Structure 1
Amino acid sequence: MKTSLLAAAALLALGQTAFAHGIESAIDPSKPAAFDITSASATTDGRLSTFMMEVAGEAGSVKPEATGKLQGAKVAAYVWPTGFDPSAVGFAEKSGILALAITAHPDFDDTPLFDENGDGDPANDGADWHSHWVVLGKDDGCGAGLKVLDVSPGIDLLPPTAPMLPLALDSPGMSPSLKGKVAKITVPVKGSEGVSFDAVTAELQVNAEGKAPLLCVTGVHDVASGDLTLPGKIMKQ
């Protein structure tokens, strides 16, 4: 009997430890349900890492309306800011906050190497949900005080699958899953066990004049931690 109780206590403790490395967030009826984060977690098998967030409504059910032009185009995003150095995926070392994002934007396609909708044209897929690594930096000129870093392709270090835009943005071609309340993405990245993360839902917008800052975070729907302290930890599967 004593052994059984000890075993049960040990299992409970393990469960609490694993749970503690995810993030929980209370439902807020004032926020759009599709972007109101209720929980977030991340796991790794040593080679692949899976990032997940659950929302109060249907994940991916809301996308920006098309305007027909790149300038001023809006972007909807489910984002996991991380404690990885940007060099982990091929950007310049210590250049900013490395974040993994699932985005949709009907006015432009920034994944020229991949044909997400399978129609044979790799240049018309921006409206479908797709994945990016981005490097974020502070900029008071942006509505939410953050931007995707402006860079010079061919001069600044970028990953081999970057679309060669003047942004610290990579298009790794990993397909996200948005089903029910869950948004999820699996990507290859080494050394991720124990790395910190957070979860954010946000709106971005391309500069209407086509100049830097080119892609601003203009509004934040929700931050899982409440204060972007990256309290989550990537757990070994």
Structure 2
Amino acid sequence: MKTSYIFIATTLSAALLATNSYAHNQHQGHIQAAVSKAVTTEFDIVHAKVTTQGSHLVFQQAVTGTAGDKHPQKKGALAGAEVYSYVWPTSLNSSAVGFDADQGILSLALTVHPDFDDTPLYDEDGDGNKTNDGDKWHSHWVVLVPDNACGEGALKVKDIAKGSSPKLPVTWPNLPLFIDSPGFDFALEKSEVIVRVPLSALGFPESFSYDGVTAGLKINQQVHAPLLCVTDVFDVASGDLSLPGKSQ
């Protein structure tokens, strides 16, 4: 399912100010989603939730198929490289994870992209090389903002303007983007996507709003700002990007 760029950008940005609606929920704080035959099963969300378990926040999505089973096709170059992702847009301020405040929509993402590695601190495949692991699923914090250069009303991962010196997390991967590579524990278990975020990493936050999204992104063919655009939204847990979920 390809969702219009205008719909994505305007509704997701407005969601942070919107009154939460639980029309899609069958469990308080969680989001139940209808099965869609138009969405590939690996990305067809049926449930999204964020719960506190001990010292961690557990971000979860359930899909109709096998989670994480579908990877982008390798292009052999950074230009035009594709990214697949499971994303939790939140109402958390960007400052919660070490960025400057009020930069955009802070989102947790589990991503895979076989043409580049953006987790320089970690050796996901254990081969002694920390720069060749982009084809393994891994976690990010990203800040999303609209940019018409990605397509009318489209979202992107926010670029760091040339010559600027914004505040960045200590695990920032040295890319010109508002992106963090925290190396959170995660699991892809049959139909479930699970990412475990230490509460201490967020300063033990109060309850926040969230949604669940599966999406495709792409590196700009010219490899400059906008560098990483959202090009496809496969599914949205709430159906309208209203962030109806409440962390528990």
User: If the length of structure 1 is used for normalisation, what is the TM-score?
Assistant: 0.88
**How far apart are the structure 1 equivalents of 2:53 and 2:189?**
23
**Equivalent residue for 1:6?**
none
Give the letter for the 2:158 counterpart.
Answer: L
* 1:10-61 C-alpha deviation (Å, 9 max, x unpaired): xxxxxxx992210000000111100000000111247421100000110000
Q: 2:185 is paired with a residue of what secondary structure?
A: coil
**How far apart are the structure 2 equivalents of 1:49 and 1:176?**
12
Q: 1:39 is paired with a residue of what secondary structure?
A: strand
**How far apart are the structure 2 equivalents of 1:149 and 1:133?**
12
Give the letter for the 1:231 counterpart.
Answer: P
Q: CA deviation at 1:120?
A: 1.1
**Equivalent residue for 1:165?**
175
**How far apart are the structure 2 equivalents of 1:145 and 1:227?**
16
**Equivalent residue for 2:125?**
117
Contact 1:130-1:173 within 8 A present in 2 as well: yes
1:148 paired with 2:157, answer yes
Higher Rg of the two aligned structures: 1
Contact 2:26-2:32 within 8 A present in 1 as well: no
Distance 1:197 1:47, change over 3 A: same
Q: 1:66 is paired with a residue of what secondary structure?
A: coil
1:234 paired with 2:247, answer yes
Q: CA RMSD in A?
A: 1.7
**How many equivalent residue pairs?**
219
**How far apart are the structure 2 equivalents of 1:194 and 1:208?**
39
**Equivalent residue for 1:53?**
61
Q: CA deviation at 1:156?
A: 1.4
Distance 1:75 1:220, change over 3 A: same
State which of 218, 227, 231 in structure 2 corresponds to 1:218: 231
Higher mean displacement: 175-184 or 146-155:
146-155
1:176 paired with 2:189, answer no
User: If the length of structure 2 is used for normalisation, what is the TM-score?
Assistant: 0.85
Q: Which runs of 5+ in 1 are unaligned?
A: 1-16
**How far apart are the structure 2 equivalents of 1:193 and 1:43?**
12
**Equivalent residue for 2:94?**
86
